[in-house]
Amino acid sequence: MQEEKIIKKYFNVVNQIVLSQMYLKEFHTSEDISLSDLKKHNPGHLGTSLSLNFILANLYYFINKNKLNSQVVIGTGHSGVSLLANQWLNGTLEKYNKRYTRTKNGLNNLISDFGSIIRSEINPQYPETIYDGGELGYSLGVAYGYAINTEVDIIPCIIGDGEAETGTLSSAWQLGRLLNTESKVLPIINLNGLKMGSQSFLSILSDEELIKYFTSLGYDIQIVDGIEKNIETTINEMQESLNKIINSSHPLIVFKSSKGFTLPIVDNIDFRNQTSVHKNPLQNYDDLEKMDIIRTFLKEYESLLFDEDDSILSMFDYFKIESPKRKVKEVKIDFEKGNEYQDNIAKLESYLLLFLKENNGLIFSPDEIYSNKLGKVAPYTIEILNENLLQALYQGYIQAGNSGFYISYESFMPIISSMISQYYKYLQQKKQIDRSETNNSLNYILTSTCWENTYSHQNPEFVNALLQRCDDFYTILYPKDGNNLLKCIEYVVGTKDHINIITTSKRHSKQYQTYNDANITIDTVVECENPEMILCVTGDYMLDLALEVYEDLLQQQKRIKIVYVTNPKILDVNSKNALSSDEFKSYFNASVPVIYLFAGYPSIIKSLLFDRNIKCKIRGYNDQISIFGNLENNLRANEISKSDIIELYNPTGISKKLRR
C-alpha cells in the first residue's frame, strides 16, 4: 500500500476515535448509532483536533520510518481528545495502562473514561507528556529547554496559531539562533485560521510574508497548504516537508488548514472555518439532529479498524514511535563547608560553581548574574531578559532529567507567578499517577530584595502565590546568613518534583551560625526563660534589625526572646510540616505578645498564623515610597525601622497595641 493511503487510513480512523470520545458511549459504525449511544456531556475540543490528527499521523509515520527517538510537545492543551486518540491508536497508551489495550474492549474503555476519569486537557494522565499547555505560550520554550541536554533525536513542537500570538512564544522563535542543541527542535504551526472567537494574526499573512518573517528569524520554513488540495496530495506534501528537515538545522513547518479540517457538509451546513467548531459545534442541536450529524461525520472517516478477532489491524504499527530516552540525573555535590565568614553571595557562588561542574547543570537568569555578584558561574548560565521564556526553558530542561537553578531579583519573579501555579498543578496531577517518573526540582534563588533596592525594584509577592496553597509540592526558605543559605541550598537540590524558593539578600554579610548549627525550619536565636515579648523574624535583614532592637531594649532591662523562622509555612496548622501545638508553644506562649518582622508582605504571615492562639503584630513591606532606596530609608518608609519597633514595645499598653 502506498504511504499516502496508509497515512490517510490512520488519519480517518483517529478522527473516528476523536468523534467517538466526544459524542458516544462506545465505538460504533455510522449505521449502528442510536439515541441511547450518545453521551450526555460532550468533553473535548473538535475544531483543532482534526488538523492536529493530520499533523500527528504524518509525524508519527515519519518518526517510525526513520527510527528516530522523539519527544513530542503540543502547545494547544485543550486538544487532549486528539492526543489521546493517537496514543491509543499507535500503542503508546497501552504500554502504560492495560485498561486501554488496542482491542475493541480497550477502545471502549477509553471512550467511556474520556471526560469522566480522564480530563480533556493534556495533562500528566497522558503518557510521555512533559507540558500540559493549560496556559498558552510556553510550548516552544519547553521544547528548546528539553533539547539543551538530552539524547532524544527530534523534538517536534506543535503550536496553535492563536498560541503563536502570545509574547513568550513570539520571543521563543529567537531560541533557534541562541541555543546550539544536538537534539533537533521541529516547530510545526497548526495554522487553522481561527482562535476561540476571532481570526489569528498569522492567518492574515500571505505565504510570501510567512516565508520572509520566519526566514528572518533563522528558520528553514516549509508551508503545507491543506485548504484547497485533496487529502492524498496534502499528505505527500507533508511527507516531503518532513523529509527535508533531516538536513536542516532549524526547520519549521506551517500546516495551513481550516478550523474543523475535513468535516463534511451536513444539510448544507458547513462546520469548517467557524468559531463555533472550536469546542463542541453540536451543543445547540437536539439529540435527533445531533445523532444525524454525528452519523454523517463518522461516515466521512469510516475505515476498517479491527479484524474478525476484534484486534487492531497490523498496518497501524507503522505509527508506533520510540519512547524518549530519559534518565533523571542524580544530583551529587561534595562541598567544603569551610570559609565560615564569607558573605551570602560569596558562599553561594562557590557552591554553585562546584554544583554546576559536578552535575553538568545550568543556571537560568534574566541578565542579572554579574549584578548578583555571581560572575564565576556566568559560563554555566543562560541569560535572557524574558522571565517567562526562561521559565519555559527551565521547565523543559528539568523534564529532560537535568538539574539547575533559576536566579533573579526578587522583584521581577511575580512575572512568572502564573507559570509557577500551573507547574504546581502539573505536579499535583502527576502525583496521582503511579507510572510517573520523578524529576529534579525547580529551584529558585531570589536576590536583591525589597529592602536593598530602589522603589521600582521592590516587590516581594512571588512567594504569596504558593504560601496560600497546600505545601505538598513546594518549600519557601529565608536563610538568616550565608551558612544557613548553604544548608537551605543543599536541602533543595536533594528534593524531587518540588518547587523550592530561597530568598537571600545579595549585600547581606553578617554571619550568625556555623553551617552545622544552621536550621532550615525554626530556631531560637536569643533565649529568654520568662520573656516580656517575643521578636519573631523571617528574613536576613529582619534579623539584623531584631538584634539591634534587642540590644536597645536589653539596656532598658527588658526581657526579650528572638525566634527565627526560616520556613514560614510551618506556622500554618494545615501545612504538611506544621509545628505541632506543643512545638509551637515551645517557641511562642499565648500570654506573651509577639512582634513578627517579615521580609515580605505582612498579610501572608497573618493568614499563616490565623489558627494559632497568640497576640501578634506583624510588620513587613507595605509598598511605601522611599526616596533613596537604601536599607535604612526603606525600613523607615515601611514603618519597620528600629525606632518603629521599639515604639511598638510598650509594657503598659501592650495588649492594645499588639493585637492578633
Reduce the secondary structure of 345-381 to three states and give it as a string: HHHHHHHHHHHHHHHCCEEEECCCCCCCCCHHHHHHE
Q: What is the pLDDT of residue 505?
A: 92
Q: What is the pLDDT of residue 339?
A: 53
Is the residue at 603 inside a domain? yes
pLDDT of 139-167, one tens digit each?
Answer: 999 999 999 999 999 999 999 999 999 99
Q: What is the CATH number of the domain that holds 279?
A: 3.40.50.970
Domains identified in the chain, total number? 3
Q: What is the strand order of the sheet 474-477 is part of?
A: 381-383, 362-365, 404-409, 442-447, 499-503, 474-477
Mean of pLDDT values over 272-282: 89
Q: What is the pLDDT of residue 338?
A: 54
Backbone angles phi, psi at 560, to 5 degrees: -125, 135
Is the residue at 509 inside a domain? no
pLDDT of 391-443, one tens digit each?
Answer: 999 999 999 999 999 999 999 999 999 999 999 999 999 998 877 789 999 99
Cβ neighbour number for residue 142 with a 10 Å cutoff: 28
Query: In 3-state terms, what secondary structure has residue 263?
Result: coil
Cβ neighbour number for residue 287 with a 10 Å cutoff: 12
| DSSP structure class, residue 423 | H
| 15 and 146 within one domain | yes
| 574 and 535 within one domain | yes
Taking the C-alpha atoms of residue 368 and residue 627, their distance in angstroms, rounded to an integer, is: 23
In the predicted structure, residue 560 carries a pLDDT above the cut 80: yes
Taking the C-alpha atoms of residue 288 and residue 3, their distance in angstroms, rounded to an integer, is: 38
**DSSP E strands: which ranges in 543-615?**
560-565, 594-598
Task: Answer with the one of 285, 319, 353 that is the final residue of a domain.
Answer: 319
Taking the C-alpha atoms of residue 328 and residue 308, their distance in angstroms, rounded to an integer, is: 43
> What are the residues whose beta carbons fall under 8 Å from the beta carbon of 411, sequence distance 6 or more?
448, 450, 453, 456, 457, 458, 459, 460
Q: What is the pLDDT of residue 652?
A: 46
Task: Tell me if 63 sits within 8 A of 148, measured CB to CB.
Answer: no
Q: What is the pLDDT of residue 427?
A: 95
| 545 and 396 within one domain | no
Residues listed for the chain: 660
Mean of pLDDT values over 532-558: 95
In the predicted structure, residue 514 carries a pLDDT above the cut 90: no
| DSSP structure class, residue 540 | H
Is the residue at 339 inside a domain? no
Q: What is the pLDDT of residue 650?
A: 63
Task: Tell me if 62 sits within 8 A of 242, measured CB to CB.
Answer: yes
Q: How far, rounded to the nearest angstrom, does the alpha carbon of residue 150 sit from its chain's CA centroid?
A: 19
| 365 and 265 within one domain | no
Q: What is the pLDDT of residue 345?
A: 85
Q: What is the pLDDT of residue 6?
A: 97
Q: What is the pLDDT of residue 507?
A: 87
Burial of 260 (0-12, 13-18, 19+ CB in 10 A): buried
AA letter at 203: S
| 447 and 305 within one domain | no
Task: Answer with the one of 503, 537, 553 that is the final residue of a domain.
Answer: 503
pLDDT of 117-136, one tens digit each?
Answer: 999 999 999 999 999 888 89
| 276 and 151 within one domain | yes
> What are the residues whose beta carbons fall under 8 Å from the beta carbon of 9, sequence distance 6 or more?
303, 315
| 350 and 480 within one domain | yes
| 48 and 169 within one domain | yes
| 369 and 235 within one domain | no
In the predicted structure, residue 630 carries a pLDDT above the cut 70: yes
- First-to-last CA distance in the chain? 78
In the predicted structure, residue 93 carries a pLDDT above the cut 80: yes
Q: What is the pLDDT of residue 654?
A: 42
Is the residue at 498 inside a domain? yes
Q: How many helices (H) and strands (E) does the chain have?
A: 22, 16
| 99 and 66 within one domain | yes
Is the residue at 326 inside a domain? no
Taking the C-alpha atoms of residue 555 and residue 52, their distance in angstroms, rounded to an integer, is: 74
Task: Answer with the one of 445, 470, 503 that is the final residue of a domain.
Answer: 503
Cβ neighbour number for residue 177 with a 10 Å cutoff: 11
The range of the structural domain enclosing residue 483 comes to: 344-503
| 219 and 175 within one domain | yes
Task: Tell me if 264 sits within 8 A of 301, measured CB to CB.
Answer: no
Is the residue at 367 inside a domain? yes
In the chain, what percentage of residues exceed pLDDT 90?
84
AA letter at 347: K
pLDDT band at 175 (very low <50, low <70, confident <90, very high): very high
Q: Which of 449-453, 566-570, 576-580 has the lowest mean pLDDT?
A: 449-453
The string over 328-358, giving b where at least 16 C-beta atoms fall within 10 Å of a residue's C-beta and e elsewhere, is: beebeeebeeeeeebbbbebbbbbbbebbee
Taking the C-alpha atoms of residue 188 and residue 73, their distance in angstroms, rounded to an integer, is: 10
In the predicted structure, residue 27 carries a pLDDT above the cut 70: yes
pLDDT of 245-272, one tens digit each?
Answer: 999 999 999 999 999 999 999 988 898 9
Is the residue at 335 inside a domain? no
pLDDT of 315-366, one tens digit each?
Answer: 999 999 988 877 788 887 777 665 554 677 888 999 999 999 999 999 999 9
Q: What is the mean pLDDT of the chain?
A: 93
pTM: 0.95
Mean of pLDDT values over 449-456: 92
| 631 and 603 within one domain | yes
> What are the residues whose beta carbons fall under 8 Å from the beta carbon of 578, sequence distance 6 or more?
570, 571, 572
Mean of pLDDT values over 66-81: 93
| DSSP structure class, residue 163 | G
Q: What is the pLDDT of residue 56?
A: 98
Is the residue at 630 inside a domain? yes
